[in-house]
Amino acid sequence: MTIDRRRSMVRDAQGSAKRWAKRTAALATAAACAMAGAAPPPADPIPAAQARQIAARIVDLVETRGLPPREPQAYAQAKRAVTAIVENDGEAVDRRTLYARVKVMLDTLDADGHSFIMTPVVRKYQNKRPMAGMEAPRFALVETAAGKVLHWTPPQTVDGATEARAAYLKGFIDDASALPGFEETCALVVDLSAQHGGNAWPPLIAMRPLFSTTNSGAFVDRDGKRTRFVHPPSLEDMQRQLTGGTANPLSRFAGLPLAVVVDRFTSSAGEMLLVALLGEGGRTRSFGRTSQGMTTANRTYTLDDGSYFMLSEKRYAVGNAAPIRGGIVPQQAATADEPRSAIVLRAAQWAASESPLCKAQRTSTAALK
């Protein structure tokens, strides 16, 4: 046996001994607390005063801004469990236990289970997690008998910082300009299959030319007040500030029919984008499968311990229709075994057949023959 191998075995044995000693000490402490009739020490302690402040703020936000509970009695019971854990006389509170009880309380809200807390550790992991659609081509061409169609799959993003928005739009513009044949396209398919949640605003800004001033996509708050969230002049201002005035490649599709592809993973921010596109009325048609059903708008609050509190404060709606609950059913549903490529092709065929720009191209081509 080599010296290096012996040293490795010693280190492994020492590590195992330390882990065993740590577990034994924890068990001994828990046993001593049980014999004394006391609770074991918290595994993730935060000061009791801080825990009380966090709990009070969460309850206040829920009751003044959040969507209401489905059953008030269930909410009241869960709220008592939250307040009970911070009303003890100890010096520390177990954060994991506190947030577990908060989750139970949030799950009583009529918010599709969309309200949640993201601790600093989870935030760090989330920021490193690769986003859906970032590696796949964002633009592609789909050939149809009625014309060449642009297939755009906006990638997911969670970062709302100004620098991140600018980088998102730069990638969007650069990818479009690098696509051979882009100028020959006469119709558009917006594919939301990579929109699994996060921040809807960067892709919404990119979509600016697709929206009219009569767009009817709306938020509906806890009191039933409706607010339209698609405002083209504001989106244009944001795009100008973030891109320095670079032309938007989707401008050629302004006012044209829109085909939208959605699937069961389209969620949260993706469903907000779907509602925005459906807010264009009869010129939009959706294809695919029912979306995931996180059809509530969240606002993010930073808690005293650095955690993010995502609170569902509004539902989505189109026009004067009832607020959306659960998944959004596409207008042209996919068959049970229809692959995504076939759904995209079907959407592209519809968009090209309905597009005046494609019709003009066909007429021009026919005149040259």
Question: Cα–Cα distance between 228 and 185 in angstroms, integer?
Answer: 31
Q: Domain for residue 211, yes or no?
A: yes
Q: Which domain holds residue 229?
A: 130-298+312-368
Mean pLDDT of 123-147: 72
Q: Say if 20 falls within a structural domain.
A: no
Mean pLDDT of the chain: 87
Q: Is residue 185 part of a domain?
A: yes
The whole-number pLDDT of residue 43 equals 79
Percent of the chain with pLDDT over 90: 78
- pLDDT value of position 26: 43
Q: Please choose, from the candidates 127, 51, 64, the residue with its C-alpha nearest in 3D space to the C-alpha of residue 93.
A: 51
> What number is the average pLDDT over the span 14-38?
41
- 98 in any annotated domain: no
Please give the model's pTM, rounded to 2 decimal places: 0.84
Name the residue with higher pLDDT: 44 or 131. 44
**Structural domain total, the chain:** 1
pLDDT value of position 103: 96
Q: What is the CATH number of the domain that holds 227?
A: 3.90.226.10
Greater model confidence, 362 or 14 = 362
**Residue 124 burial by Cβ neighbours in a 10 Å radius (0-12, 13-18, 19+):** exposed
Could you read off the pLDDT of 29-38 as tens digits, one per residue? 443 343 334 4
227-247 pLDDT, tens digit each: 999 999 999 999 999 999 999
**pLDDT tens, residue by residue, 72-125:** 999 999 999 999 999 877 789 999 999 999 999 999 999 999 999 998 866 555
Q: How far is CA 226 from CA 66, 175, 189, in A?
A: 15, 36, 29
Q: How far apart are CA 206 and CA 193, in angstroms?
A: 17
What is the Cα–Cα distance from 106 to 62, expressed in whole angstroms? 8
